[in-house]
Amino acid sequence: MIEIKDIVKDYVNGEETTHVLKNISFSIKKGEFVAIMGPSGSGKSTLMHIIGALDVPTSGTYTLDGNDVSSLDPDELARIRKQKIGFVFQAFHLLPRATVLRNVELPLIYSGVDREERTKRAKEALIAAGLDESRHEHLSNQLSGGQMQRVAIARALVNDPSIILADEPTGNLDSKTGDLVLDTFQSLHAQGRIVVLITHEPYVAGHAERILTVKDGLLVEDKINAERITHIAQYENS
């Protein structure tokens, strides 16, 4: 599904060049739950922008579903984001005076989906994200942090993307609420979606089945999280 090969990303400011990503290569298969972990300044956010079709590399290739994304123009990148990728951010990015349902419907409004269909799909996405119907008509600023993040997850789901890309999704949450949100990502992964978590926290990364560690623009480790895979298998067989 996702193949990153020899990706380099440089930023040029006058005569100074900053090498942010340095010949990074990896692939992510359909249905994998992957964490990309690294400290601030490691390059993980830049890598997220490339995977999310928000930016293109300086060199190297990014292939998604067999299509080379690394050289697309802005309109083509926007189409990829709209059709294939759902984004969840640390800061939620909800409209505070719009209802929960309205916030989730927004991507469908921009896509020209009629009212009845978008309401149906928004409700289904909210339920899939773990927010029951009693909250759907609340204003988003009337919700707890965990509930707001579930709304953000529902908004990411509403176009039925094959990839969920989550950037520090528990950063504004307490640990208990963060665990509930991470469980939601696990449920989405169980439905067959690729889930990619961007984080600096080993505990958060530990919820993924595979952990890529980035440091100083380099991929320094790519490991299977055997403990997590064993835990999931035991849960499914219980």
What average pLDDT is seen over the chain?
Answer: 91
Pseudo-torsion of CA 174, 229, 30, 70, nearest 10°?
60
Q: What is the pLDDT of residue 232?
A: 57
Question: Helix, strand, coil: what percent of the chain each, to 5?
Answer: 40, 30, 30
**Residue 224 reports pLDDT greater than 90:** yes
Residues in the chain: 238
CATH class of this structure's domain 2-237: alpha beta
Spatial separation of the C-alpha atoms in residues 99 and 93, rounded to whole Å: 13
Query: Average pLDDT in the 149-172 region?
Result: 92
Question: Which of 217, 153, 222 minimizes the C-alpha distance to 191?
Answer: 153
Q: What is the pLDDT of residue 126?
A: 93
Spatial separation of the C-alpha atoms in residues 145 and 92, rounded to whole Å: 9
Please report the DSSP string for 86-132 in residue order.
EEEETT----TTSBHHHHHHHHHHHTT--HHHHHHHHHHHHHHTT--
- Burial class (CB within 10 angstroms; exposed 0-12, middle 13-18, buried 19+) of 55: middle
Query: Average pLDDT in the 145-159 region?
Result: 92
Query: Average pLDDT in the 47-61 region?
Result: 94
**Residue 236 reports pLDDT greater than 90:** no
Hey, what amino acid is at 202? P
Q: What is the pLDDT of residue 211?
A: 97
Over residues 98-109, the pLDDT tens digits come to 999 999 999 898
Handedness of CA 180, 88, 185, 49 (dihedral sign): negative
pTM > 0.85 = yes
Spatial separation of the C-alpha atoms in residues 128 and 197, rounded to whole Å: 18
Residue 226 pLDDT level (bands cut at 50, 70, 90)? confident
Q: What is the pLDDT of residue 1?
A: 87
Q: What is the pLDDT of residue 142?
A: 92
Q: What is the pLDDT of residue 49?
A: 92
- Burial class (CB within 10 angstroms; exposed 0-12, middle 13-18, buried 19+) of 170: buried
**Beta strands across the sheet bearing 194-199:** 85-89, 163-167, 194-199, 33-37, 210-215, 218-224
- List CB contacts of 191: < 8 A, sequence separation 6 or more: none
Residue 217 φ/ψ, nearest 5 degrees:
80, 5
Over residues 63-90, the pLDDT tens digits come to 999 889 988 889 999 989 988 999 998 8
**Residue 227 reports pLDDT greater than 90:** no
Percent of the chain at pLDDT > 90 equals 68
Query: Average pLDDT in the 130-154 region?
Result: 92
Spatial separation of the C-alpha atoms in residues 167 and 186, rounded to whole Å: 15
